[in-house]
Amino acid sequence: MRSILCVLIGVTVLMAISSCATTEPLREGELRLLKMQVPENANLILGHDYKFNFIFESDGSAEIIRAVCMCQDGAPRGYRAENVTYGSLRGSFSLWLRACTDDSQRLECYVDYVSDGKRHRSNSIYSIIHGIMR
């Protein structure tokens, strides 16, 4: 009896975890950030600029206005997205950013975009960055 209960609890937990891992389908006009590609394995030398690449999904009607990034102890800053490519579902862009501080910092980014004549804000994504003194 106890082993059956353990199996049922295990199956329930696995189902809950797998349901959290699925993503909702895009709403019409939505742009969703998927990935931030951080250079140098996230070990960045202070005072240097680095090219960060981003992957997003969109239904094709969204146009990026600007990207906004912030370190956990700083104010949000807007940047012009460069090399923006729009695909039928996936797209990409890049930003030139500078390492935040000499500590490990959470770098969070989102984009402002226009779809159907209205301005929207995407989801936020983040990565942990390690600033290195040199």
What are the residue boundaries of the structural domains of the chain, listed by start? 28-132
Structure-block tokens of residue 19: 């349901």
Instruction: State how far the Cα of 27 lies from the Cα of 16, in Å rounded to an integer.
Output: 24
Report the DSSP beta bridge partners of residue 117: none
DSSP 10: H
H helix or E strand, kind and range, residue 59: none
Structure-block tokens of residue 20: 């959290």
Q: Which fold has domain 28-132?
A: Immunoglobulin-like (2.60.40)
Per-residue pLDDT for the chain (134 aa), expressed as one digit of tens each? 555 443 434 434 344 433 344 478 888 899 999 999 999 888 888 888 999 999 999 987 899 999 999 987 778 999 999 999 998 889 999 999 987 666 778 899 999 999 999 999 999 999 998 886 65
DSSP 62: -
Instruction: State how far the Cα of 96 lies from the Cα of 80, in Å rounded to an integer.
Output: 9
Q: Are 48 and 76 in contact (CB under 8 A)?
A: no
Structure-block tokens of residue 133: 């003194």
pTM over 0.75: yes
